[in-house]
């Protein structure tokens, strides 16, 4: 079978794994045809070309495959000559490797790759973002290539494994490369966890999107159905509204006729109310005149009453004055009677004194007579001697008695004269008081009669006025009753018309309520549909917002991961710088320790020599 046919079969057949080792595909046409088939292959994942002496044009064909094929993941090229003689084909292979975005594992063991090829591979690794495993064992990369690969490992974050055994690479560079690759593995694990989380989130978001799309479609279907129902309801409501509008127009015409009647009735009512108001105004005027006359009569009556009260007060004051005078005179009479009683008591006392003196005098006279007789009997002689003295004494006593009796009689006469004068005065005062009292009584009687006559006259006048006022009042009341009867008739007419108006208003209101009920039903249906539509729109909006939030969250997580990668890189760089600083410090410490050891050895040597000299001197002296 020709080689070109085999290459075309590679493009058509679905091959996942292809092992071609030690088949000697070093013929140019065969290799080109084979690799031409791999360029457009979309199923092959693993390709092994071990021990086929690929170099030059075969390397360029492999570069073309790496540029165009985006499904190949595992490429094993051990025991070939891809990097031999540092040909430009290997540089094109490295450029294709830097552009490839599907290759994960590359095996380049024993391919004569020198330090130049190592630097080119390092430059390709700096740009490659998918390669994870690179096997470069048993080549000639050396120190320069290994340093370039170390720099590539420090910048590349996807490479996890790099095998450099048998390449004359120093151990420190190997250790640095393993450290960088371990960091890449850690980052890869973190990225793998993040990618898993992102995949889960993406699936969840996709599920949410599908669910929301399904809900939105169902909601839109419901909305369309509801809109159709609303259109039907609006059509039926429009027909009902049209019918109601026609009924309302009929009722409006009837209402206009009724309102015309009502206007005529209102005109009659205004005329009747005007007449009623005029009658009420006349009644008010008559009431005002009546109140004015009553107030005037009351004022006149009050004035006359006040005049009579003043006259009565005047007579009362005069009467009080006369009574006061009479009281004073009676007090004087009482005083005189008291004086008379005191005088009579004094006269009685004087009479008693006189009787007592008479009794004493008689007793004395009897005693004197007894003594005289006894003295006469005993002393007849002495009587003669004392007769003159006794007579004299008797005469003196008689004279004294007569004088005292005369004085007492004079006093009694005087007192009797005073008593008689006082009695006369009392009698005269009593007569004057009685006359004054009679005069005052007559005056009071006359005044009372006069006041009574005047009051009777005024009362008759007031009664006449009241009769005239009552007649006028009765006339006014009769007129007022007539007006009331007419106003009641008018009121009955107005009430009857108002009842008719109320019935018409009720009919209009019932029609309006029916219209309002229909309008409210229409509005309620519209509002319900509107609210349901708004709720659904809000629900959809919430779902959209939730999707936006999830997107924002995903973006935030991506940004956080980027920040974390950046921070990890910064921490790695900081740790590397710190390690370098610590290494320098360790070197300095080791130098200081070596210097101190050297100083200590010198000091020990000096001490040893000094001790030996001292011991030698001691032995010499001994």
Q: Are 57 and 81 in contact (CB under 8 A)?
A: no
* Residue with more model confidence, 124 or 366: 124
DSSP character at residue 485: H
Task: Indicate left, alpha or beta for 53 from its phi (over 0: left) and psi (-120 to 50: alpha).
Answer: left
Angle at 111 between CA 109 and CA 113, to 5 degrees: 105
Report the pLDDT value the prediction gives residue 96, as an integer from 0 to 100: 93
Alpha-carbon span 472 to 294, nearest angstrom:
12
Q: Which of 53-62, 243-252, 532-541 has the highest mean pLDDT?
A: 53-62
SS (H, E, C) 607-619: HHHHHHHHHHHHH
Report the pLDDT value the prediction gives residue 187, as an integer from 0 to 100: 79
* Residue with more model confidence, 460 or 511: 460
Element (H, E) at 135: strand 133-135
Report the pLDDT value the prediction gives residue 3, as an integer from 0 to 100: 39
Q: What residues contact 176, with CB distance under 8 A and at least 6 apart?
A: 150
Report the pLDDT value the prediction gives residue 127, as an integer from 0 to 100: 92
Helix and strand totals (H; E) in the chain: 8, 6
Alpha-carbon span 83 to 59, nearest angstrom:
9
Quick check: 164 pLDDT over 80? yes
Q: Are 64 and 95 in contact (CB under 8 A)?
A: no
Nearest Cα to Cα of residue 167 among 134, 182, 150, 145:
145
Q: 6-15, 55-64, 216-225 — which is least confidently predicted? A: 6-15
Instruction: Give, rounded to a whole angstrom, the gap between the first and last alpha carbons of the chain.
Output: 112
The structure tokens listed for 503 are: 């019935």
Report the pLDDT value the prediction gives residue 8, as an integer from 0 to 100: 45
Please state, for a pLDDT cut of 90, what percent of the chain lies above it.
Answer: 11
Element (H, E) at 194: helix 171-378
Q: Please state the rounded mean pLDDT for residues 323-348.
A: 75
Please state, for a pLDDT cut of 70, what percent of the chain lies above it.
Answer: 84
Quick check: 476 pLDDT over 60? yes
Q: Are 31 and 61 in contact (CB under 8 A)?
A: yes
Quick check: 137 pLDDT over 90? yes
Q: Are 135 and 163 in contact (CB under 8 A)?
A: yes
Report the pLDDT value the prediction gives residue 1, as an integer from 0 to 100: 36
Report the pLDDT value the prediction gives residue 361, as an integer from 0 to 100: 67
Q: What residues contact 109, with CB distance under 8 A and at least 6 apart?
A: 78, 79, 135, 136, 137, 138, 139, 163
Report the pLDDT value the prediction gives residue 342, as an integer from 0 to 100: 78
**What separation in angstroms does the CA of 148 have from each of 50, 84, 119, 134, 277?**
26, 19, 5, 15, 123
Burial degree of 196 (CB within 10 A; 0-12, 13-18, 19+): exposed
Q: What is the DSSP string of 361-423?
A: HHHHHHHHHHHHHHHHHH-HHHHHHHHHHHHHHHHHHHHHHHHHHHHHHHHHHHHHHHHHHHH
Query: pLDDT confidence of 621, banded at 50, 70, 90?
Result: low
Q: Which of 156-160, 284-288, 533-537 has the highest mean pLDDT?
A: 156-160
Alpha-carbon span 83 to 114, nearest angstrom:
7
The structure tokens listed for 146 are: 């290994």
- The full set of domain ranges for the chain reads 3-169, 268-511
Query: pLDDT confidence of 28, banded at 50, 70, 90?
Result: low
Alpha-carbon span 496 to 261, nearest angstrom:
13
Q: Which fold has domain 3-169?
A: 3.80.10
Query: pLDDT confidence of 385, banded at 50, 70, 90?
Result: low
Burial degree of 485 (CB within 10 A; 0-12, 13-18, 19+): exposed
3-state secondary structure of 478: helix
Quick check: 432 pLDDT over 90? no
Quick check: 568 pLDDT over 50? yes
**What separation in angstroms does the CA of 414 have from each of 248, 342, 352, 408?**
134, 14, 18, 10
Distance of CA 385 to the CA centre of its chain: 148
Quick check: 133 pLDDT over 90? yes
Quick check: 244 pLDDT over 70? yes
Quick check: 124 pLDDT over 90? yes
* Residue with more model confidence, 189 or 131: 131
Whether this model's pTM surpasses 0.75: no
Q: What is the mean pLDDT of the chain?
A: 78
Q: Are 97 and 128 in contact (CB under 8 A)?
A: yes
The structure tokens listed for 458 are: 């005024």
Nearest Cα to Cα of residue 170 among 152, 147, 140:
147
Report the pLDDT value the prediction gives residue 107, as an integer from 0 to 100: 93
Q: 55-64, 152-161, 266-275, 580-589 — which is least confidently predicted? A: 266-275
Report the pLDDT value the prediction gives residue 106, as an integer from 0 to 100: 94
Quick check: 26 pLDDT over 50? no
Quick check: 180 pLDDT over 60? yes
Quick check: 7 pLDDT over 60? no
Q: What is the pLDDT of residues 269-294, one digit of tens each?
A: 777 678 777 767 877 787 787 778 77
Q: What is the pLDDT of residues 208-221, one digit of tens each?
A: 778 877 877 777 78
Report the pLDDT value the prediction gives residue 10, as an integer from 0 to 100: 52
Report the pLDDT value the prediction gives residue 562, as an integer from 0 to 100: 82
Query: pLDDT confidence of 2, banded at 50, 70, 90?
Result: very low
3-state secondary structure of 277: helix
Q: Are 79 and 51 in contact (CB under 8 A)?
A: yes
* Residue with more model confidence, 81 or 372: 81
Q: What residues contact 572, with CB distance under 8 A and at least 6 apart?
A: 183
Query: pLDDT confidence of 580, banded at 50, 70, 90?
Result: confident
């Amino acid at each position: 079978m020709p080689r070109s046919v085999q290459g075309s079969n590679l493009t058509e057949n679905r091959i996942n794994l292809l092992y071609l080792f030690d088949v000697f595909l070093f013929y140019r046409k065969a290799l080109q045809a084979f690799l031409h088939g791999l360029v457009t292959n979309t199923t092959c994942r693993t390709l092994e070309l071990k021990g086929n002496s690929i170099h030059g044009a075969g390397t360029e064909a492999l570069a073309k495959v790496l540029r165009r094929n985006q499904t190949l993941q595992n490429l094993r090229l051990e025991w070939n000559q891809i990097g031999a003689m540092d040909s430009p084909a290997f540089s094109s292979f490295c450029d294709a490797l830097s552009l490839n975005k599907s290759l994960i594992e590359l095996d380049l063991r024993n391919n004569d790759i020198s330090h130049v090829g190592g630097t080119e591979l390092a430059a390709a690794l700096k740009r490659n973002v998918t390669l994870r495993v690179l096997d470069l064992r048993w080549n000639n990369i050396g120190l320069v290539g290994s340093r370039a690969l170390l720099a590539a490992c420090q910048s590349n974050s996807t490479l996890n494994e790099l095998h450099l055994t048998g390449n004359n690479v120093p151990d420190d560079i190997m250790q640095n490369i393993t450290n960088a690759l371990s960091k890449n593995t850690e980052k890869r694990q973190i990225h793998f966890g993040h990618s898993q989380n992102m995949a889960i989130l993406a699936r969840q978001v996709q599920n949410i999107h599908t669910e929301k799309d399904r809900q939105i479609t169902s909601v839109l279907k419901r909305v369309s159905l509801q809109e159709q129902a609303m259109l039907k309801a609006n059509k039926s409501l429009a027909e009902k509204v049209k019918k109601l509008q026609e009924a309302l127009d009929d009722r409006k015409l009837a209402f206009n006729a009724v309102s015309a009647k009502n206007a005529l009735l209102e005109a009659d009512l205004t005329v009747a109310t005007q007449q009623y108001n005029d009658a009420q105004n006349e009644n008010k005027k008559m009431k005002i005149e009546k109140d004015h006359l009553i107030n005037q009569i009351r004022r006149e009556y009050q004035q006359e009453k006040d005049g009579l009260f003043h006259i009565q007060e005047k007579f009362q004051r005069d009467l009080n004055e006369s009574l006061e005078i009479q009281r004073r005179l009676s007090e004087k009479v009482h005083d005189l009677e008291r004086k008379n009683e005191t005088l009579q008591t004094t006269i009685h006392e004087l009479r008693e004194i006189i009787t007592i003196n008479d009794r004493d005098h008689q007793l004395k006279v009897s005693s004197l007579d007894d003594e005289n007789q006894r003295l006469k009997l005993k002393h007849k002689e002495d009587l003669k001697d004392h007769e003159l003295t006794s007579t004299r004494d008797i005469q003196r006593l008689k004279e004294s008695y007569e004088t005292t009796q005369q004085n007492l009689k004079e006093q009694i006469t005087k007192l009797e004269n005073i008593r008689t004068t006082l009695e006369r005065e009392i009698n005269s005062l009593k007569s004057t008081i009685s006359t004054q009292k009679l005069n005052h009584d007559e005056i009071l009687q006359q005044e009372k009669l006069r006041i009574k006559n005047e009051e009777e006259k005024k009362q008759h006048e007031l009664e006449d006025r009241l009769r005239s006022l009552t007649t006028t009042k009765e006339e006014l009341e009769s007129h007022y009753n007539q007006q009331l009867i007419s106003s009641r008739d008018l009121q009955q007419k107005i009430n009857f018309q108002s009842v008719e108006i109320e019935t018409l208003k009720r009919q209009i209101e019932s029609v309006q309520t029916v219209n309002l009920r229909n309008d409210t039903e229409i509005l309620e249906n519209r509002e319900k549909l509107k609210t349901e539509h708004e709720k659904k729109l809000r629900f959809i909006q919430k779902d959209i917002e939730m999707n936006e939030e999830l997107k924002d969250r995903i973006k935030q997580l991506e940004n956080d991961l980027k920040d974390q990668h950046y921070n990890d890189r910064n921490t790695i760089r900081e740790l590397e710088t710190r390690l370098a600083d610590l290494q320098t410090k360790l070197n300095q410490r080791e130098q200081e320790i070596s210097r101190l050891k050297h100083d200590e050895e010198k000091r020990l040597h000096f001490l040893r020599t000094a001790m030996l000299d001292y011991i030698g001197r001691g032995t010499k002296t001994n």
